Amino acid sequence: MSEDLVVQRREGLYCPPGDFYIDPWRPVDRAVITHAHGDHSRRGNAHYLAAAAAEGVLRTRLGEVDLQTLPYGETIDHLGVRLSFHPAGHVLGSAQVRLEHAGRVWVASGDYYVAGGVSDAREDNQTCAPFEPVRCHCFITESTFGLPIYRWRPQAELFAEIDDWWRANAEAGRASLLMGYVFGKAQRILKGVDCSIGPIVVHGAVEPLNRAYRAAGVDLPETPIATEIQDKSLFRRALIVAPPSAQGSTWTRRFGDYSDAFASGWMQLRGARRRRSIDRGFVLSDHADWPGLQRAIVATGAERVIVTHGYEAVMVRWLTDQGLEASAFATEYGQDDDELPPAIGAEVAAAERAAEHVAATLSDEDAAAIVVAPDDDAPADDTGGA
Ligand SMILES: [Zn+2]
Ligand SMILES: [Zn+2]
């Protein structure tokens, strides 16, 4: 235990030889930050260290903090611990933290995005540097979608599905309100859709992040803010990108007739799709799917894996079956990362519990066989009861 490069403490994940924390959930002196999502980069730490690519989004979210940055792949030494950041593919600036001390190498992944069982550049996150596997003895992995039912479709298919929904609405003179997390998800939507269909406008909470992405060199379409649009007839052909909290709010009244949709990995859950309160659900996640998690873990060559946030028991069982030493850390991550609209939170939670139960009792193959078919994404009104 004393040789471990990362241990659990009440403040967060702690590196004993380096005397710093990784993504602490309580204020500490030295915080190494994997990415700028709120549950991983909290306020109140004295010193922050993050990947250079994260600087803009971190400052957008945290304001003026004592922040030191390090480009991907460069190393610094701190109390004999060599530290470097490596792309995680999750959001702009997201990083895995590589630690090397006394001949041992540990990597803490933070959140990461790897889709599918084989590497394919078309399936990378197109809004940030793609995930890079880093060899290590011990890999600390996330497991947000660590169940066999989570398998992302090719991105081209998914965005064609979103475009079709938007185009049909525009032809009917109806606004298209697409909700997703404002940091990461919103920018992937903006980058992935066909801008020739109509104007794109955003909720005021989305635009500061868009600016940080553009400043970092990510090519996003122009996105005026909805409240600043004078000519309301423009909304009838528009795609409106907004946070999940916009669902059913008074802010949506300005759009007149609209169709609403939600983009999240949780939309893979059959039960979550049988909601009546939102017209469409698109399966778009910034986290690795089940084959992606397996591929990423195997690529590290780690003999020991520690699982954080999400389905720890299922993932630990799979790792143990692979002959790896596996355990879990209890963390306080995941609260506000893949946020749900208020109206479907309970439905998603119930579907998730059912899916976890299935994963715990079925083989990997049997669980894969019950993945929702792509054509199952009919409008909610067609899908019947609960
Ligand atoms: Zn995250
Ligand atoms: Zn997370």
pLDDT tens-digit map of 344-353: 666 666 666 6
Q: Which ligand has an atom closest to residue 331 CA?
A: 2
Q: How far apart are CA 214 and CA 57, in angstroms?
A: 11
Q: Indicate the burial class of 194 (C-beta count within 10 angstroms; 0-12, 13-18, 19 or more).
A: middle
Q: Which of 180, 123, 189, 110 is nearest to 151 (CA)?
A: 123
CA of 309 to the centre of ligand 2 (A): 7
Four-CA torsion 351, 260, 206, 183, nearest 10 degrees: 20
What does the DSSP 8-state code read for residue 343? G
Q: Which residues are registered as beta bridge partners of 176?
A: 239, 259
Tens digits of residue pLDDT in 26-65: 999 999 999 999 999 999 999 999 999 999 999 999 999 9
CA of 146 to the centre of ligand 2 (A): 13
| 186 within 8 A of 202, measured Cβ to Cβ | yes
Q: Sheet of 175-179: strands edge to edge?
A: 200-202, 239-242, 175-179, 258-263, 280-282
CA of 310 to the centre of ligand 2 (A): 9
| Average pLDDT taken over every residue of the chain | 89
Long-range contacts of residues 375-383, Cβ cutoff 8 Å, at least 24 apart: 376/270, 376/273, 377/161, 377/267, 377/273, 377/280, 377/281, 377/282, 379/279, 379/280, 380/273, 380/274, 380/275, 380/276, 380/277, 380/278, 380/279, 380/280, 381/276, 383/273, 383/274
Q: Which ligand has an atom closest to residue 113 CA?
A: 1
Task: Dig out the tokens for 264 from the structure.
Answer: 């999240």
CA of 91 to the centre of ligand 1 (A): 7
Q: What confidence score (pLDDT) does residue 278 get?
A: 85
Give the 3-state secondary structure percentages of the chain, helix then strand then coil, rounded to 5.
Answer: 35, 20, 45
The three-point CA angle 244-249-252 to 5° equals 90
CA of 101 to the centre of ligand 1 (A): 27
Q: Which residues are registered as beta bridge partners of 7?
A: 14
Going by pLDDT thresholds of 50, 70 and 90, the confidence category of residue 384 is: very low
Q: What confidence score (pLDDT) does residue 370 get?
A: 46
Q: How far apart are CA 93 and CA 366, in angstroms?
A: 37
Q: What confidence score (pLDDT) does residue 385 get?
A: 30
Give the SS3 label for residue 12: strand
CA of 13 to the centre of ligand 2 (A): 13
Tens digits of residue pLDDT in 347-370: 666 666 666 666 555 555 555 554
| 281 within 8 A of 338, measured Cβ to Cβ | no
What does the DSSP 8-state code read for residue 13? E
CA of 268 to the centre of ligand 1 (A): 18
CA of 2 to the centre of ligand 2 (A): 26
Tens digits of residue pLDDT in 231-282: 999 999 999 999 988 988 999 999 999 999 999 888 887 666 566 678 999 9
CA of 337 to the centre of ligand 2 (A): 6
CA of 40 to the centre of ligand 1 (A): 7
CA of 333 to the centre of ligand 2 (A): 5
Q: Indicate the burial class of 311 (C-beta count within 10 angstroms; 0-12, 13-18, 19 or more).
A: buried
Q: Which of 38, 79, 74 is nearest to 57 (CA)?
A: 38
* Biggest CA pair distance of the chain: 65
Q: Which ligand has an atom closest to residue 310 CA?
A: 2
Percent of the chain surpassing pLDDT 90: 75
Task: Dig out the tokens for 282 from the structure.
Answer: 């698109």
CA of 386 to the centre of ligand 1 (A): 30
CA of 10 to the centre of ligand 1 (A): 20
Q: How far apart are CA 203 and CA 341, in angstroms?
A: 15
Asked which of 11-20, 98-107, 210-219, 343-352 is least confident by mean pLDDT, the reply is: 343-352
CA of 104 to the centre of ligand 2 (A): 25
CA of 40 to the centre of ligand 2 (A): 6
Task: Dig out the tokens for 142 from the structure.
Answer: 């996330």
Q: Which ligand has an atom closest to residue 181 CA?
A: 1
Task: Dig out the tokens for 322 from the structure.
Answer: 């692979």
| 280 within 8 A of 262, measured Cβ to Cβ | yes
Which residues make up the environment of ion ligand 1, defined by Cβ < 5 Å? Answer: 37, 111, 337
Task: Dig out the tokens for 146 from the structure.
Answer: 């660590």
pTM score > 0.85 for this model?
Answer: yes
